Structure 1
Amino acid sequence: MYDWLIVGAGFAGSVLAERLASERNERVLIIDRRNHIGGNAYDRYNEDGLLIHQYGPHIFHTNSKQIFDYLSRFTEWRFYEHRVLAEVDGMLVPIPINLDTVNKLYGLNLTSEELQSWFAARAEAVPEIRTSEDVVVSAVGRELYEKFFRGYTRKQWGLDPSELDKSVTSRVPTRTNRDDRYFGDEFQFMPKHGYTRMFERMLDHPNIHIMTQTDYEDVRDIVPHRRVIYTGPIDEYFGFRFGKLPYRSLRFRHVTLEQPWYQPVAVVNYPQTNEYTRITEYKHLTGQEHARTALTYEYPSAEGDPYYPIPKPENQELFKKYERLALATPDVWFVGRLATYRYYNMDQIVGQALATFRRIGEALPVEADASAINVVPSPPVLAS
């Protein structure tokens, strides 16, 4: 008898497995339908000995010392500040847009103060910022929106920015200084030996059993367990009762080149040209020294594994129907991006999992759990 059956061995499931096993001394079975742990953060050495991210680049960054300290139990870190260039009008320029971006693109020599006025002169008045288009044109105007955002967003999402919630482009700041870091967080690091090694250490506990290539439907009725933590798609859990929640997927093409380097930074975006959205070169991220270099080309797709919940009002309404079912389902805790139909960074998922663990402790005190477990069902929880 397992105390917990955890569906999904990504960040949400693995953090909760570790906490339940080590802090509550409970027996955990964690399963994943893929043939590995780590979820989308899984990395591996390719046939050439280069460490690559199987599902595209994962850059760890956070402002939470608590989250950073927690993960530091399972990995050493390599300091890394992420920088991204975009190929625009035949030039490679920094993204997010900053002072150097505008000066290089337009052959100007503006100061930070002058750039503020330059943006203001081009910004469009938007009565209410609702869409991703509104966010950008109200800040920097339509020309930069067209150059950097419209084409990229249409490739990435299969929708025009005017059809997407403001949250999509709000994630990318606009700067008037020369800061070319993609993120501004206090803690910016990469796991020194990779994400997979970190997950292996996280799940290395005698109370945790792991089954990969295992589907929840195949074991839910045959493996004895008391409670479930579900990190998969919430609509799938309920048999798509109200229809499928829309997701955007990705296709990856991994290549190795017979040269030490290919591009000046880890990621180059292509908002104007090519079918792919970006190219990642992993040695920038990992610090690995090697005579060859590994790249990944990303192609957005309407079909495939669910990666990005599509932020539109009608999709949220559909999710709310599943959320109501989840809240009425005892002894199942729904956690993570797919189970709560929201886009989260890795650190946000870790934070959500740690917060869920605290709520489990409040709802199921350890000292009373053993006697009450088959008498009083625990309250259903949908992590937020």
Structure 2
Amino acid sequence: MFDIIVIGCGFAGAVAARKFAEEKNKKVLLLEKRSHIAGNMYEDMDINGIYVHRYGPHIFHTNLDYVFEYLKRFSDWFSYEHRVLGRIDGQLVPIPFNFTSIEKLFSEEKADIIKKRLIEIFLDRQVISVMEIMNNSDEIIKELGQYIFEKVFINYTAKQWGIPIEQVDGSVISRVPVVLGYDDRYFQDKIQVMPKYGYTKLFEKILNHPNITIKLNCNAAKKIKIIDKNVYFDGEIYRKPIIYTGAVDDLLNYKYGELPYRSLDLVFERYDVTNFQPCAVVNYPNEEDYTRITEFKYLTGQVVNGKTTILKEYPLHYNIMAEKGNIPYYPIINERNLKRYEMYKADIERTGNIFLCGRLAEYKYYNMDAVVDRAIKIAEEVDV
């Protein structure tokens, strides 16, 4: 007999399961729809002997010390500062845009003028937004902002979200950073690391506890029914806690309609070269159908001479019935979709014993550290 059911084996489910099993000494049944643990962080070795992230690149970064201290119990880690280049006007330049990007894309004379103006206008600031540049009264600075908007942001965003350029919400650009200097790191978090033995091994250690029982290939959403606020599991009324990390529309059989997502067609390619590109990720914001290429050896730290594996990401509309694009990656956040989500959430919360945790269950974009933080807190809050 189990004290609690946890549904989903990504970071949300795995960390919550471990907390209940270890710190509350509860028997946990962990159900996972896929044939493997680790959710979208799952990685394995391909025929080139290279560990690949099967659901796209995952780079761990955080400012939450206690989250990293918790995860350090289950793996050694190595320092990794992620860098991204973007192909702009035939050049590979740092993303976020920085002084190196300016020097590569403009003449030496113009680049010097732009950098000097940026320093004069924004004084001691290290990072500003593209919106601030576009709204500046200085014509040279405003021109730079428009260039970044058109060459780096607008086409990439339209491609990523599958919408016409004219429908891209301009307010989103307020979050697009420009670095006033030569710092070319993609993230600014104080902790930037990767698990030494990979994410799958990390999850194996997290789940290695005698109080945790794992069942793979189990679509738990089909085992649960909610009728008049009561929860039924396998046809019998169930009053113990359930931590649910899957899609809420699936759990309630899409009674209010599907929650839309963007998905990806992930195309892995192998080459008989030591390196395909100069860093882990290169963005392609303009002409190509794909948005980025990842070369995994940079992420894993492996040294494999004469062979490499890359991943091209082609954005698609999510369709659970399609051959491609049947995995929900990015929730499409707007007023209409959030209202629909709140209807699902209200029905689930009325049960009193199903608790939502994670990216799919909460219909929001989470970085990995935020999911771990959420799982730790929900495990502490739920009484078993």
Assess same fold via TM > 0.5. yes
2:331 aligned to which of 287, 309, 316 = 309
SS of structure 1 residue aligned to 2:14: helix
2:351 aligned to which of 309, 329, 340 = 329
The Cα offsets for residues 310-351 of structure 1, whole Å up to 9 and x where unpaired, read as 122221122122222222122101000111111010001001
Question: Match for residue 112 of structure 2?
Answer: 109
The Cα offsets for residues 151-190 of structure 1, whole Å up to 9 and x where unpaired, read as 1111111125764667855554211111110000000000
Q: Note the 1:136-147 alignment, pairs <5 A.
A: 141-147=145-151
Q: CA deviation at 1:103?
A: 2.1
Q: CA deviation at 1:240?
A: 1.2
Does the 8 Å CA contact 2:48/2:308 hold for their aligned counterparts? no
* 2:292 is equivalent to residue 278 of structure 1: yes
Does the 8 Å CA contact 1:43/1:196 hold for their aligned counterparts? yes
Stretch moving more, 274-283 or 232-241: 232-241
Letter in 2 for 1:12: A
User: Structure 1's 317 and 98: CA in aligned 2 closer, same or farther, altered over 3 A?
Assistant: same
User: Structure 1's 217 and 351: CA in aligned 2 closer, same or farther, altered over 3 A?
Assistant: closer
Q: CA deviation at 1:121?
A: 9.6
1:232 aligned to which of 246, 261, 272 = 246
Letter in 2 for 1:176: L
User: Structure 1's 342 and 163: CA in aligned 2 closer, same or farther, altered over 3 A?
Assistant: farther
Does the 8 Å CA contact 1:120/1:139 hold for their aligned counterparts? no
The Cα offsets for residues 209-247 of structure 1, whole Å up to 9 and x where unpaired, read as 111111014544339862211001111111211111110
SS of structure 1 residue aligned to 2:375: helix
User: Structure 1's 314 and 166: CA in aligned 2 closer, same or farther, altered over 3 A?
Assistant: farther
Take 1:197 and 1:170, find their aligned partners in 2: how far apart are those partners? 38
Letter in 2 for 1:48: N
Q: CA deviation at 1:141?
A: 2.7
Take 1:187 and 1:165, find their aligned partners in 2: how far apart are those partners? 31
Stretch moving more, 38-47 or 214-223: 214-223
User: Structure 1's 235 and 104: CA in aligned 2 closer, same or farther, altered over 3 A?
Assistant: same
Letter in 1 for 2:97: I
Letter in 2 for 1:247: Y
Q: CA deviation at 1:111?
A: 7.1
Question: Match for residue 312 of structure 2?
Answer: 297
Q: CA deviation at 1:124?
A: 3.1
Question: Match for residue 257 of structure 1?
Answer: 271
Take 1:18 and 1:29, find their aligned partners in 2: how far apart are those partners? 11
Letter in 2 for 1:78: F
- Taking only aligned residues, the RMSD between alpha carbons, in angstroms, comes to 2.4
Q: CA deviation at 1:198?
A: 0.2
SS of structure 1 residue aligned to 2:264: strand
User: Structure 1's 197 and 120: CA in aligned 2 closer, same or farther, altered over 3 A?
Assistant: closer
Letter in 2 for 1:299: Y
**TM-score of the superposition, structure 1-length normalised?**
0.86
Does the 8 Å CA contact 2:243/2:355 hold for their aligned counterparts? yes
Q: CA deviation at 1:110?
A: 4.6
Mind listing any 5+ residue stretches in structure 2 that lack a counterpart? Answer: 123-129, 225-232, 319-325
Does the 8 Å CA contact 2:17/2:28 hold for their aligned counterparts? yes
Does the 8 Å CA contact 1:246/1:309 hold for their aligned counterparts? yes
SS of structure 2 residue aligned to 1:244: coil
2:234 aligned to which of 222, 226, 242 = 222
Take 1:245 and 1:332, find their aligned partners in 2: how far apart are those partners? 19
* 2:134 is equivalent to residue 123 of structure 1: yes
Question: Match for residue 125 of structure 2?
Answer: none
User: Structure 1's 138 and 322: CA in aligned 2 closer, same or farther, altered over 3 A?
Assistant: farther
The Cα offsets for residues 107-150 of structure 1, whole Å up to 9 and x where unpaired, read as 22357542354989961379xxxxxxxxxx99963221110011
Stretch moving more, 235-244 or 266-275: 235-244
**TM-score of the superposition, structure 2-length normalised?**
0.86
Does the 8 Å CA contact 1:99/1:111 hold for their aligned counterparts? no
Q: CA deviation at 1:35?
A: 0.9
SS of structure 2 residue aligned to 1:340: coil
Mind listing any 5+ residue stretches in structure 1 that lack a counterpart? Answer: 127-136, 370-384
